[in-house]
Chains A and B, each alone.
Chain A
Amino acid sequence: GAVVSQHPSRVICKSGTSVKIECRSLDFQATTMFWYRQFPKQSLMLMATSNEGSKATYEQGVEKDKFLINHASLTLSTLTVTSAHPEDSSFYICSADATAGSYEQYFGPGTRLTVT
């Protein structure tokens, strides 16, 4: 099946700094990518939907100025956590739909962010 990668897999940063997470579709073009956040022992929560060449659509309660999403190409979306705080520590996962009518959404391996 199609492959989605994320980089980095783990990152530790200091409070107040910004962190960028990359999500790439390796062997297909992804018009739409999704960003999820998962806290320990909880389910995945959708943060935003990212469409190539346009502004992301954020879920209710997600601060768009704090979680900056850029989807500049059909194979790359980035999530930047700005001015990170310890409560932003979480597992961030991206996913991608390949083409219209596609039945499967492909998930990345996730990025573990720890803010100290």
Chain B
Amino acid sequence: DAKTTQPPSMDCAEGRAANLPCNHSTISGNEYVYWYRQIHSQGPQYIIHGLKNNETNEMASLIITEDRKSSTLILPHATLRDTAVYYCIVRVPYNFGNEKLTFGTGTRLTIIP
């Protein structure tokens, strides 16, 4: 799986949009970009994924650059409950093989009241 690079920490004011960047310059053509988050002492929670088009769901939006070498996760209206470590991961979809997730160090997002 391709390696990702994220800033170690970010702060965001409550109610504002949180924009979390991720670089994945060695991503392969069949690899998807996934975002997970981990709230303290819990298992990771899936947020969103995408291949090359921008994606939006009830939790967040994912913006992927045209060359797919970087992406941005957007939490449109951050709340205190969004304080967590956010992981950007690239992988192929599961297909009965060892399509494991490789976690980097992630971005520790702190929402400020």
Contacts and interface: CB of A to CB of B under 8 A. Distances in A.
Interface in B83-113: 87, 93-96, 98-106
B32 A103 contact: yes
Interface stretch (A64-72, A77-85, A92-100): A92-100
Interface residues on B, range: 20 to 34
Interface in A1-55: 1, 4, 6, 31-32, 34, 36, 43-46, 49
Interface stretch (B17-25, B41-49, B63-71, B73-81): B41-49
Nearest to B95: A100
Interface of B: 32, 36, 38, 41-46, 49, 87, 93-96, 98-106
Interface of A: 1, 4, 6, 31-32, 34, 36, 43-46, 49, 57, 91, 93, 95, 97-110, 112
B44 A102 contact: no
Contact of B101 (A1, A34, A91, A112): A34
Nearest to B45: A107
A83 B36 CA distance: 33
Given A1-B46, A49-B98, A91 B104 contact: no
